[in-house]
Copies of this chain bind each other. A is one copy, B any other.
Amino acid sequence: MARTGRRPGNSGAREAILASAQELFSSVGFQRATIREVAREAGVDPALVHHYFGTKDDLFVAVLDLPANPGELLPGALAGDPDGLGERIVWTFLKAWDGQAGQRPLLALVRSATSNESAARMVREFVEHTIRARLATVIDADDAPLRTALAASQMAGLAITRYVLRLEPLASAPPATVVAAIGPTIQRYLRGDLDA
């Protein structure tokens, strides 16, 4: 027999964890928030937080209501020929966001990150810790933080112009066109010469 309905209380615990995580990420930031503290505020055991949401990264993704965890998508894009890194990152990004499912939460994220400082701080810390840590495996330069930030600037700008402002013809350009145009930018920011 298929399971129907939920056990009473589970939904409440899940919501309480999400609410507590949102509150904590906003007040102390992504970096300082701990699963233990989220659990304490929600009145549940830390094991239940891990059970429902996995890692702190995953919990953050759930709070932001993102359709995919950039920290999980990135390793797939990073594997392979280093010369194709930029193009693979742009492809991965478009695959995750071009679908309608990705755009509502992306809009919500952009709106909150540009309109309140605590959301901006969450995004900033997520980029600094999660994205940057993943990229560190393929960029071993001293200036890796600047390189990551430059790549983030182009990807954020692509999101804004393609999905929010919908500036044509970039908004409707086929993914291959976008990858050919922007892939080399990301490649240079991550591994090329920045003093040219």
Bound CA–CA A194/B182 (angstroms): 8
Q: Are the C-beta atoms of B154 and A153 separated by less than 8 Å?
A: yes
If A158-B157, A164-B120, A165-B120 touch, whether A182 touches B114 (CB-CB below 8 Å) is no
Q: How far is the CB of A62 from chain B (nearest CB, A)?
A: 21
A13 at the interface (CB under 8 A from B): no
Kindly provide the distance from the CB of A164 to the nearest chain B CB, expressed in whole angstroms: 5
Task: Give A residues with C-beta under 8 Å from B.
Answer: 107, 110-111, 113-115, 120, 123-124, 127-128, 145-146, 149-150, 152-158, 160-162, 164-170, 173, 177, 180-182, 184-185, 188-189, 194-196
30 A-B pairs whose Cβ atoms sit less than 8 Å apart in the complex: A110-B114, A111-B114, A111-B115, A114-B114, A114-B115, A114-B160, A114-B164, A120-B164, A124-B165, A124-B166, A127-B165, A146-B169, A149-B168, A150-B170, A150-B181, A152-B161, A152-B167, A152-B170, A153-B162, A153-B182, A154-B157, A156-B157, A156-B161, A157-B158, A157-B160, A180-B194, A180-B195, A180-B196, A181-B194, A184-B188
Contact A167 B149 (CB under 8 A): yes
Which residue of chain B lies nearest to A181 when distances are taken between CB atoms in the complex? B194
Taking a contact as CB atoms under 8 Å apart, the answer to whether A169 and B145 are in contact is: yes
Q: Which of B115, B165, B173 contacts A146 (CB 8 A)?
A: B173
In angstroms, how far is the closest chain B Cβ from the Cβ of A47? 34
Residues of B contacting A107 in the complex (Cβ-Cβ under 8 angstroms): 114
Give the residue name and chain of the B residue nearest to A183 (CB). Answer: B196
In the complex, how many angstroms separate the beta carbon of A112 from the nearest chain B beta carbon?
A: 9
A170 to chain B, nearest CB (A): 4
Whole-angstrom CA separation of A176 from B34 in the bound complex: 39
